Amino acid sequence: MELSNEVINLGKNAEEAVQEEFKKIDELCEYHSNRVLNAFQKYHVSDIHFNSTTGYGYSDVGRDVIEKIFAEVLHTEDSLVRSQFISGTHALTVALFAFLRPNDTMLSISGKPYDTLDEVIGIVENPSSLKAYGVKYEQIDLIENDFNYEKISERVSKQNIKLIEIQRSRGYSLRDSITLDKIEKVIKTIRKVNQEVIIMVDNCYGEFVDKIEPSQVGADVIVGSLIKNLGGGISPNGAYIAGKKELVELAAERLTAPGLGKEVGPTLGINKQILQGLFFAPSVVASSLKTAVFTSKLLEDLGYKPRPRYNEKRTDIVQTIEFGNPEKLIRYCQGIQMGSPIDSDAIPEPWDMPGYTDKVIMAAGAFTQGSSIELSCDAPIREPYVAFMQGGLTYQYGKLGVLHAIQNILK
């Protein structure tokens, strides 16, 4: 499908108006590229690290160097970066089951966590949930897009909260994503009254969007997916848990087995892709950010309500657009699919996805199944009809995808 001149011109105008933002994103990209390059050099990455192991995966020097580099780049003592993590949800699950024991309490301070954790925590009943193992759950909601500092301070000063979870990105909620200055402020608040509690941040979609990571403002452990930011669109799957050495060790013993920990885990030939993915990640995150900023300006010009606005500070790669109308929303998502490199002739329709209350539409013409560092867009079909869009392997492809989407709502 060809883009009309009208649509191309709308794109040009939006692009011209966001050049200042693009410049800042370029600077950010250079900053993180330099850090990644330094980490590769510090650990003397060489051909030998691209080698593969099978079976138990003992003595995988590539895997070991990958975990040192991730720890370096994320400013943590250690990391566990494994393709045996099926997804971000799996890594979060492993972390929670590793740190929490029967009768412990987990406290979420950014409202309800990401939907896929409902059954993990036991918010939705499941015989294998943390709840089923006797782990208690409490939640403190955000107020006006910020932490409820007073209530958090009061609760954690009392007995036995074992772990605090903070979700940086908005997930499918309509709240804003949480900036690092707020995360820093809440961690300082917590540490004034409690030095023991484990502070874990769900860092999905957040890596390399700011100059620093939650680990640099006091988080003990952070978790993310390799089919999002740090995989750079090249890692075929996997996730990471990075943080304090003893916490990473606990997570490793839960992922593999007690006594085995980090020493095992065959890499089956993907070390090079993981390294190359991290190498590309600063640039791919920058492309995703440019795609988001461009989209925000363009859709605002067209009279819709994007969040964040194009010139607002970002803490993740997610762009939401409120359409206020189900037809426009569906047409936008279908247009993103039309503008994708893979399955561009598929027409996504809203459907009853397991685990969701409303019908959901998902556009993803991605090389890697479910990869959302590639341009992707999904939306629950409910008021106020908001699309959640993210990714873009290159800005040019991201822009083209979005232009196809607006052509599809304008026609």
Ligand X SMILES: *Cc1c(COP(=O)(O)O)cnc(C)c1O
- The residues of the shown chain that bind ligand X, judged by CB under 6 A, are 87-89, 114, 116, 167, 169, 171, 202, 204-205, 225
Shorter beta-carbon distance to ligand X: residue 225 or 288: 225
Shorter beta-carbon distance to ligand X: residue 84 or 89: 89
Give dist(CA 136, CA 161) in Å, integer. 9
Shorter beta-carbon distance to ligand X: residue 51 or 139: 139
Cβ contacts of 72 within 8 Å, gap of 6 or more:
39, 42, 43
CB of 175 to ligand X, least distance (A): 11
- Nearest C-alpha neighbor of 397 from the set 313, 354, 341: 341
CB of 216 to ligand X, least distance (A): 19
Q: How wide is the angle at C-alpha 141 spanned by C-alphas 140 and 146, nearest 5°?
A: 115
CB of 96 to ligand X, least distance (A): 12
The bridge status of strand 221-225 relative to strand 239-243 is: antiparallel
Contact by Cβ (8 Å): 77, 243 = yes
Taking CB positions, which residue lies at the least distance from ligand X? 88
Shorter beta-carbon distance to ligand X: residue 204 or 366: 204
CB of 23 to ligand X, least distance (A): 27
Tell me the CA distances in angstroms from 132 to 8, 32, 129, one per residue in order. 55, 42, 5
String of b and e for 241-266 (b: at least 16 CB within 10 Å)? Answer: bbbbeebbebbbbbbbeeeebbebbb
Shorter beta-carbon distance to ligand X: residue 287 or 368: 368
CB of 234 to ligand X, least distance (A): 16
Shorter beta-carbon distance to ligand X: residue 200 or 393: 200
CB of 243 to ligand X, least distance (A): 16
CB of 97 to ligand X, least distance (A): 15
Provide DSSP, 367-409.
SSTT-SSSSEEEEES-TT-EEEEE--SSHHHHHHHHHHHHHHH
Task: At 323, give phi and psi (nearest 5°).
Answer: -95, -25
Shorter beta-carbon distance to ligand X: residue 167 or 295: 167
- Nearest C-alpha neighbor of 117 from the set 108, 109, 178: 108
CB of 117 to ligand X, least distance (A): 7
CB of 85 to ligand X, least distance (A): 9
Bridge partners of 108?
139, 165
H-type helices in 18-87, by residue range? Answer: 19-42, 61-73
Contact by Cβ (8 Å): 214, 183 = yes
Torsion of CA 340, 374, 233, 3, to 10 degrees: 40
Q: How wide is the angle at C-alpha 207 spanned by C-alphas 205 and 208, nearest 5°?
A: 125
Shorter beta-carbon distance to ligand X: residue 10 or 80: 80
Shorter beta-carbon distance to ligand X: residue 256 or 368: 368
Shorter beta-carbon distance to ligand X: residue 15 or 118: 118
Cis before 384? omega within 30: yes
CB of 368 to ligand X, least distance (A): 12
